[in-house]
Amino acid sequence: MSVHFDVVLVGAGPGGMAAAVVAAEGGLRVCLLDDNLSPGGQIWRGFRAETAARHPHGTEFLEWAIRLQRTNCAIWQGWQAVSCPESGILRLERGRETRTVRFDRLILATGARERFLPFPGWTLPGVMGAGGLQALVKGGLEAKRKRVVLAGSGPLLLAVAAGLKSAGAQVVGIYEQASARRLAGFALSLVDQPGKLAEGTFYRLKTLDSQYRTGAWVVGADGRGRVETVTLTDGRRQWSVKCDWLGCGFHLVPNLELPRLLGCRVEDGFAVVDSMQQSSVAGIACIGELTGIGGLEKAIVEGQIAGWAAAGKEGEAAALLPQLKKLQQFARGLERAFELRPELRTLANAETVVCRCEDVTHAELEVCMGWREAKLHTRCGMGACQGRICGSATEFMYGWENASSRPPVFPAAVSTLGADATFEG
């Protein structure tokens, strides 16, 4: 199946939903596609109209979900964009199905993923990303009476802890690698954003009976067949904590594979855009975490700006720029506050697996001079995840740059990549 739209949105998180809504309300023919089974992205995962109001940000979800339903926007769920065979065309795959979609304008809202840093024991069953654990529990994983340790960096740790507590888990401890001084400075910078302070306070109040330590990080996990204990340090001493699950993630990194494939300029780890969210490639906009890790509100505002711009209503888009400026300042403060400490570069020992897809160890990689050499000699980054996990880890650990992207963006059938398309519409 092949079809043409005025605007195609890749990513149905909050930013993608907002962009799709305003573009469709502006009279454009819009397609919103996502690899999940319902719109909402990670932050609104599993939300339903009848229960959304019980959750943080549920009111915003209801507002945008209702507006989306009232448009004529085509919503394609479960689809992945795997390649761009020529300008203005995306090839999509879902299971054994293939579609090709042509667009006049493209808005990328592919979000971000957790950064994982290898340490001894991180491949044990029961060790998960903090956000991954949150998604599993939202999807129905039984959490009651599970002893959970959360470690790493970023505001996601507290949000996940609050969610796990609500699901009946026992959050034993929350360990943030950033120092108390950095976090205090960040909190002071939010005096003119009371909503952000209130949200953080809400999450902390939900987890008051859980130990929360700053300047502490995981150095290892142990267990017979699955994680049983986690070893932590504050740089002066080490201690161990018993647990059933360890959720560990070191803030977020943007999903830049598709922007890079399409030729969008990337600097300092983020897509470069102008005031209307337009990338360096004509007709392609980037929003949300692609332009800076800033959370829900930034994504929604950028989505509206990109959607209005696509509809030719730059006046409406420009009216949102003062609000966006404040949210961009928040994103920059977030990056400074949760900057990773250099000690984390040395967590892995010689036997620690860094590339889990290809079982490549730290000892095999530390002698390589760069990402290309590592791929050629060890197959690091050439497995199913295509470097999504080990890429950001090796960039931090060894200073390597992984700036290349080529099709397919996700593993795809040969028949998908070679499909011919006859366009309709």
pLDDT one-digit tens code per residue, 261-284: 999 999 999 999 999 999 999 999
Q: By mean pLDDT, which of 44-58, 59-73, 372-386 is the weakest?
A: 44-58
d(CA 23, CA 3): 18
Each residue of 275-305: b (16+ CB within 10 Å) or e?
Answer: ebbbbbeebbbbbbbbbbbbbbbbbbbbbbb
- pLDDT confidence bin for 20, thresholds 50/70/90: very high
**Confidence at residue 46, expressed as pLDDT on a 0 to 100 scale:** 67
What does residue 370 show for φ and ψ, rounded to 5 degrees? 180, 180
d(CA 366, CA 317): 47
Q: What is the 3-state secondary structure (H, E, C) of the chain?
A: CEEEEEEEEECCCHHHHHHHHHHHHCCCCEEEEECCCCCCCCCCCCCCCCCHHHCCCHHHHHHHHHHHHHCCCEEEECCEEEECCCCCEEEEEECCEEEEEEEEEEEECCCEEECCCCCCCCCCCCEECHHHHHHHHHCCCCCCCCEEEEEEECCHHHHHHHHHHHCCCEEEEEEECCCHHHHHHHHHCCCCCHHHHHHHHHHHHHCCCCEEEECCEEEEEECCCCCCEEEEECCCCEEEEECCEEEEEECEEECCHHHHHCCCCEECCEECCCCCCECCCCCEEECHHHHCCCCHHHHHHHHHHHHHHHCCCHHHHHCCHHHHHHHHHHHHHHHHHCCCCHHHHHCCCCCCEEECCCCEEHHHHCCCCCHHHHHHHHCCCCCCCCCCCHHHHHHHHHCCCCCCCCCCCCCCCHHHHCCCCCCEC
Report, as an integer, the average pLDDT of 18-30: 97
Amino acid at 169: A
Q: Which residues pair with 150 in a beta bridge?
A: 174, 247
Q: Which residues pair with 252 in a beta bridge?
A: 114
**Confidence at residue 52, expressed as pLDDT on a 0 to 100 scale:** 60
pLDDT tens-digit map of 150-188: 999 999 999 999 999 999 999 999 999 999 999 999 988
**Confidence at residue 36, expressed as pLDDT on a 0 to 100 scale:** 86
Residue found by looking up tokens 């295509």 in the block? 386
Nearest to 196 by CA among 18, 14, 57: 57
CA terminus-to-terminus distance, the chain = 11
pLDDT tens-digit map of 27-62: 999 999 999 888 877 777 666 665 666 666 767 888
d(CA 408, CA 109): 18
Nearest to 227 by CA among 163, 153, 172: 172
The alpha carbon torsion through 14, 19, 22, 25 (nearest 10 deg) reads -100
| Phi and psi based region of residue 65 (left: phi greater than 0; alpha: psi -120 to 50; beta: remaining) | alpha
Nearest to 301 by CA among 179, 292, 383: 292
**Confidence at residue 39, expressed as pLDDT on a 0 to 100 scale:** 81
CB 341 within 8 A of CB 361: no
**Confidence at residue 61, expressed as pLDDT on a 0 to 100 scale:** 81
Give percent above pLDDT 70 in the chain: 95
Residues 6 or more apart whose CB falls under 8 angstroms from that of 70 comprise none
Nearest to 155 by CA among 163, 145, 147, 144: 163
d(CA 214, CA 182): 10
Fold observed for domain 116-250: FAD/NAD(P)-binding domain (3.50.50)
Residue 383 has pLDDT above 70, yes or no: yes
Supply the angle between the helices 321-337 and 296-310 in degrees, to the nearest 10.
Answer: 140
d(CA 239, CA 181): 23
Mean pLDDT in the chain? 92
In terms of pLDDT, which residue wins out, 41 or 136?
136
**Confidence at residue 239, expressed as pLDDT on a 0 to 100 scale:** 98
- Class of the 2-113+253-335 domain? alpha beta
- pLDDT confidence bin for 195, thresholds 50/70/90: confident
Cα R_g (the chain), whole angstroms: 21
* Token digits of residue 317: 């888009």
**Confidence at residue 1, expressed as pLDDT on a 0 to 100 scale:** 64
Q: By mean pLDDT, which of 201-210, 216-225, 322-331, 357-366 is the weakest?
A: 201-210
Residue 380 has pLDDT above 80, yes or no: yes
* Token digits of residue 41: 């992205």
CB burial of residue 40 (10 Å; 0-12, 13-18, 19+): buried
d(CA 25, CA 20): 8
pTM score, whole prediction:
0.92
- pLDDT confidence bin for 131, thresholds 50/70/90: very high
